[in-house]
């Protein structure tokens, strides 16, 4: 545990050293850039999972056309998959408005 604490302390020190050298002045936008890209990637992963859940419901619905219980289970999975996709698209739209529309947050670049 002590080694992890030392690694975290050294990492924080190396992030802050340019500020002490006046090489870079930290701004809110530069600090948000550090947290923004992982949040953006998390949004993409959750959208992919919601799409997979929806497609799983479609598969249950189609493959179990004779069994009404399984069809209703497929309908329920499709419904919740669509709800999750709508929520994720809404969050993505809010992120887009903050990024590009208002210029508050940095646009993530995945190079």
Confidence of residue 97 (pLDDT cuts 50, 70, 90): confident
pTM for the complete prediction? 0.62
* DSSP 3-state of 84: helix
Rounded to whole angstroms, the Cα distance separating 81 from 79 reads: 5
At 45-76, the pLDDT tens digits run 999 999 999 999 999 999 988 888 889 999 99
pLDDT reported for residue 28: 64
Task: Find the length of the chain.
Answer: 111
Q: Residue 26: is its pLDDT beyond 90?
A: no
pLDDT reported for residue 12: 64
Question: How many C-beta atoms lie closer than 10 Å to residue 54's C-beta?
Answer: 19
Q: Are 91 and 43 spatial neighbours (Cβ–Cβ below 8 Å)?
A: yes
């Amino acid at each position: 545990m002590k080694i992890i604490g030392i690694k975290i302390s050294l990492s924080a020190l190396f992030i802050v050293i340019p500020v002490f050298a006046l090489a870079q002045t930290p701004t809110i936008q530069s600090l948000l850039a550090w947290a923004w890209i992982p949040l953006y990637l998390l949004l993409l992963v959750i959208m992919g999972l919601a799409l997979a859940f929806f497609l799983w419901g479609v598969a249950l619905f189609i493959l179990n056309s004779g069994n009404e219980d399984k069809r209703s289970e497929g309908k329920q999975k499709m419904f919740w998959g669509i709800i999750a996709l709508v929520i994720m698209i809404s969050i993505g739209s809010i992120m887009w408005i903050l990024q590009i529309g208002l210029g508050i947050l940095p646009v993530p670049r995945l190079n």
